[in-house]
Structure 1
Amino acid sequence: MSSSLPVVSTDVAPFGVDEATAEVTSSLNISAEEKRRYLSYLDDVTFRLMIPAVVYLAMLMVLGIFGNILVLIVYLKKFKPSPTRVFVVCLAVFDLMTCFISLPGEILDMRHIYTFDYPIVCKMLRFNNSFSVVSSGFTLIAVAIDRYRKICRPLNKQITIRVARIMVGIAVSVSLVLTIPTVIVYGRKTVKTDNKEINGFECSIDDRWLDTLFPLMYIGVLFLIFFCSLGILVFMYVFIGRTVFNHRRFKFRPSRDTKHHTSHYTTETSLEDGTETKCYSGNEKPSDNGKGMRSSSIGFDDISNSNRGFDGSSETSCSYPNDTTVKPKARSRDKIFNRMTSTRNKASKPQHKTGPRALKTTFMLFIITVVFVISFLPHLMLMITRFVKSDFEDSLQGAGIIIYNIFLRSYYINSAVNCIVYSFCNERFRNEGKNLVVSCFR
């Protein structure tokens, strides 16, 4: 997460520095003002190569601030309390911390890459950056656990709002413990220039830790936590995807015998006084077959989709062929049968049904997780490359420096695009957000 320091050639005299001053800077007697002017010149030259990365971060900052504020307003005012709302709101808060603090600090660091002599500010920026990222990662693990229980274990006890808040609290506490060492590790790092007598300062690993193993061990622990978290997320969503696939395959499997899957149901009850009662649904006509026998044929589609037939409503017609007036005893027997069938139907339904809404929410949160992981891959690859090849940064020139500084900060994408994912995957959020934006402009 540290910034790159490109090699700047100083063959020409700095802007605002005459030849006499340039000669003085090469001697041992260099004043503080001359050092400042020289380092400011290096900042200006380096910043020209940083402009594309600054524009990239500025766009993410604007999009992230407005987008995450919109997410907070819509979810807090328009959505009912739920575990999903708890997770989404917390993710938006962490992203806002990044957009309000980390991104401006990163731009400031790139602007003063040779003159960032603010150790306290550096420690605050690195801590906030690490804390918000690690907290978001642990919150996404809590989201995956919630989705796993809803899709793969729908009949078990589900995560409540209180449990969701506790899970987020644990995620924040663990993240706080893991990121406190950034306050110790990061600070003011001395940067060498072409002039051996003048050194600059950047926000990176503090000078007192450069010759120790502590920074390397700490970064290694963060890498290990990231890959372990990635493994948990992959494990959870593989099970979720398999369950959804099996559910859809079973749902759309054609029935072998359509006779046993009719959308109508018929009940024939032989009463004690010899009067037969026939009940049929829809436009189906009563049949005289099997008269006098006690039998029932019930279509499960009608049972699951509507209960009106069991309440004596218009969907179910009952005929009494022997007599137009049914005895009270027969009516009582028919009501008891209807109540028993309705009770059995309600008991057979699962308490937590995996419906289209749950699947859409799961897909939306899965996309959020995928964006989080993918946005980190370029940064991790560059960090590993720097570790393996120590002179990697020094070998970069021109366009390579520009591309390097953009991809080194790729993980900031995650803090800005979540609102876009919500807009594409959640129609209600899209409509509510549109109405809110229109009302603000009005």
Structure 2
Amino acid sequence: MAEPLSTLSNTPTNRENGSDDDIDEFLNQKNLEFVSSLAPTLTYLTFLMVAGLVGNTLVFVVYYRRFKPSETRVYILAMAVSDFLTNVLAIPLQIVEIRFNATFYVTWGCKAIRSGSTVLVFFTAVILVAVALDRQKVICTGRLGSHQSLSSAYRAVIICAAASIVVACPYAVLAGRHTRTFPDTNITGITCSFDDRHLHSAFSTSYVTILGVMYVVFVAIMVVSYVRIARHLWRHKETTLALARRSRYAAPDASSASSGSGANAGRSGHGNVKEIPARTSLMLFVLTVVFIVNYLPTLIVASLDEGDPKTSMEDLEKNARFILLRTYYTNSAVNPLVYSFISCKFRHECRSLFGCMSRESRASA
């Protein structure tokens, strides 16, 4: 049976330095002091949890009920589910981890928290890569959505989920009990981090390095895809303007023929692009930028301390470190704002949904 979070440490060092009750009281006091010192971090996490819970629920309901089936809809629903799970599972468990910073003896719980968070973060990353490649395919090659492409989107989501689980598996081995000794005492506490057996090992170093390399590769793929999209749209715009100028100065008959042929050329070469809402591509691009910006601080700080935080830090430094290690949680609250600010259709459907709910409530009353 798993030990409760409040169980006393049974290390020889602790037994030599006082009674179990004294040690228990000391460690619990350290837990409370740690929570108090991280009040800004806990406030930040709580805000993200509440805002993300409301926002992602709204995103899922609106896109599921109000938007027609499409590849973009599949990807957005998948990200909404991932962000929702972050809000209801990952962030609350992160708060629990902070609460029992000196007495986190449940090894499987630590492994579950770290592995689960990695699954959700990596899933978002690979979904955004799939979205970037999909946008490039649709806009640059003119392949519009079809039943086959919709099935491909569902398969892509399943593959992304499976890949995320595989990538997170090493954390099930690496995460565990990390011993921390408090200054001026020989009493040790247990926190959730890289297990002492794997701290600074070749395995942990290689894993962190691989995650960093994968992040760079993903960013490169997304940047190249959106650069190609931007170039294609710019060329399409230049072609359209050139045709407009030519038809303006041509003779009436020639103008008529030219515009007809130009229209045909436009339809054959770029007509499909017009059917792709520009704001959708912009929205997905902004989601990608938000992820890149939010995950970068986490990756940098994690690679610097490799799961071995310093035990003596000022409150400001401590809060900065904890927030930077968890900036990826910001995605779960910011993504719904991106939809609402950029997508006019999303805002319209939200108003329509609330309008229907209001009318139904008045009718039932």
Q: Say if 1:52 and 1:261 are closer, same or farther in 2 by CA, change over 3 A.
A: farther
Structure index of larger Rg:
1
Corresponding residue for 1:300? 259
Distance 1:72 1:153 in 2: 29
1:209 deviation in Å? 1.9
Are residues 1:424 and 2:353 paired? no
Q: Say if 1:155 and 1:69 are closer, same or farther in 2 by CA, change over 3 A.
A: closer
Corresponding residue for 1:213? 202
Count of matched residue pairs = 345
Corresponding residue for 1:82? 70
TM-score, reference length from structure 1:
0.71
- The AA in structure 2 aligned to 1:221 is I
Corresponding residue for 2:302? 383
Corresponding residue for 1:319? none
Corresponding residue for 1:369? 288
Corresponding residue for 2:79? 91
Distance 1:391 1:404 in 2: 12
Q: Say if 1:373 and 1:250 are closer, same or farther in 2 by CA, change over 3 A.
A: same
1:255 to 245, 261, 285: 245
1:351 deviation in Å? 8.9
1:121-177 Cα shifts (integer Å, max 9, x gaps) = 111111110001111111111101110011111158977100111111111111111
User: Does 1 or 2 have the higher relative contact order (CA < 8 Å, sep 6+)?
Assistant: 2
Matched residue of 2:102: which SS?
A: coil
Are residues 1:434 and 2:337 paired? no
Are residues 1:400 and 2:317 paired? yes
Distance 1:301 1:99 in 2: 54
1:336-362 Cα shifts (integer Å, max 9, x gaps) = xxxxxxxxx699646961127532111
Decide whether the 8 Å contact of 1:109 with 1:203 is kept in 2: yes
Distance 1:34 1:409 in 2: 33
Decide whether the 8 Å contact of 1:135 with 1:171 is kept in 2: yes
Matched residue of 2:177: which SS?
A: strand
Unpaired runs of 5+ in structure 1?
A: 1-24, 267-295, 305-344
Decide whether the 8 Å contact of 2:208 with 2:303 is kept in 1: no
Distance 2:341 2:251 in 1: 37
Matched residue of 1:160: which SS?
A: helix
Matched residue of 2:179: which SS?
A: strand
Decide whether the 8 Å contact of 2:52 with 2:333 is kept in 1: yes
TM-score, reference length from structure 2:
0.85
Matched residue of 1:204: which SS?
A: strand
- The AA in structure 2 aligned to 1:411 is Y
- The AA in structure 1 aligned to 2:223 is V
Decide whether the 8 Å contact of 1:151 with 1:240 is kept in 2: yes
Corresponding residue for 1:359? 278
Distance 2:308 2:70 in 1: 51
1:153 to 131, 138, 141: 141
2:213 to 221, 224, 231: 224
Matched residue of 1:182: which SS?
A: helix
